[in-house]
């Protein structure tokens, strides 16, 4: 086993380095926070997100703008373990998936809009990957901007998810995780550091109505700009195109709530 780890750990390190530096928009998400879903190799994902404030001005009477997020993402590993190159390092690694991408964001203000590009990556495995009733899991980072102490939020997270069934009744998928970001940038309403917290969510495909309808309640802790309670739904027009509508209630009372509209295209 130690000999295997000597091979496996450098392999994982190389994979994470490739993911974090690839210029290959946010990671696969729920409504707000990253999910445990990971795109397989050969799938590219384009998304267009708009976060529209419900009020035109903030608590200091400054004009607010619609945050626009344009992203491109790609899967890095095939979902077939026999074709996954990591299996050559150690067979169990063949069940891992990975994705990486970048976002182009506008509407954060004149200063931050000067550096609009942010990167992300994620590594994970689906439910039952290694044993029956195993939760899905993912580890990754997002909003890795390139301007030091301005846009390098560097939010790292670890998350698990499990679909719960009672007999034939599907209760949906429940997930929980933890995140930690740049303490210089993630602050509460009083300007104090508030850079780490929980991530919780419940989601379900409403098969009783349509296999195309998905609903979700999504929560991320702290009073930083990442902290919010979010709920909404998405409609899948086909296997490649879906739209999402959500409402975002921020934990920081000084931040204005927003309405999320998201268009997702796989190709």
Structural domain tally of the chain? 1
The per-residue pLDDT for range 168-187, each reduced to its tens digit, is: 999 999 999 999 999 999 99
pLDDT of residue 59: 86
pLDDT digits (tens, 9 = 90+) for 8-43: 334 433 343 333 333 334 789 999 999 999 999 999
Q: How many CB atoms lie within 10 A of CB 139?
A: 16
Domain harbouring 167, CATH code: 2.40.160.40
pTM greater than 0.85 (yes/no): yes
Q: Where are the alpha helices (DSSP H) in the chain?
A: 2-21
Q: Which domain holds residue 147?
A: 2-266
Give the separation between CA 230 and CA 254, rounded to whole angstroms: 17
Segment-wise mean pLDDT, segments of 10 residues, the chain, 267 residues: 40 37 62 96 96 92 93 97 95 97 95 97 98 97 97 98 96 98 97 98 97 98 98 97 98 97 97
CB 114 within 8 A of CB 139: no
């Amino acid at each position: 086993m130690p000999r295997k780890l000597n091979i496996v750990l450098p392999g994982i390190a190389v994979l994470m380095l490739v993911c974090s530096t690839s210029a290959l928009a946010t990671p696969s998400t729920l409504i707000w926070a990253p999910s445990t879903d990971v795109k397989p190799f050969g799938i590219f994902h384009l998304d267009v997100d708009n976060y529209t404030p419900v009020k035109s001005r903030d608590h200091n009477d400054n004009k607010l703008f619609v945050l626009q997020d344009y992203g491109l993402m790609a899967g890095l590993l095939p979902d077939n373990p026999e074709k996954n190159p990591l299996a050559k390092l150690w067979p169990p690694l063949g069940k891992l998936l990975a994705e990486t991408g970048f976002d182009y964001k506008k509407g954060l203000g004149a200063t931050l809009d000067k550096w609009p590009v942010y990167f992300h990556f994620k590594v994970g495995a689906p439910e039952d990957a290694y044993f029956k009733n195993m939760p899905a899991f993912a580890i990754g980072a997002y909003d890795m901007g390139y301007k030091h102490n301005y846009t390098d939020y560097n939010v790292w997270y670890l998350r698990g998810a499990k679909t719960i069934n009672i007999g034939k009744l599907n209760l949906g998928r429940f997930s929980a995780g933890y995140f930690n970001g740049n303490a210089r940038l993630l602050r509460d309403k009083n300007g104090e550091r508030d850079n780490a917290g929980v991530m919780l969510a419940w989601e379900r495909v409403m098969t009783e109505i349509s296999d195309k309808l998905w609903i979700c309640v999504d929560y991320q802790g702290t009073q930083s700009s990442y902290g919010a309670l979010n709920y909404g739904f998405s409609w899948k027009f086909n296997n490649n195109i879906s739209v999402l509508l959500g409402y975002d209630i921020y934990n920081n009372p000084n931040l204005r709530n927003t309405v999320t509209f998201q268009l997702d295209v796989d190709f």
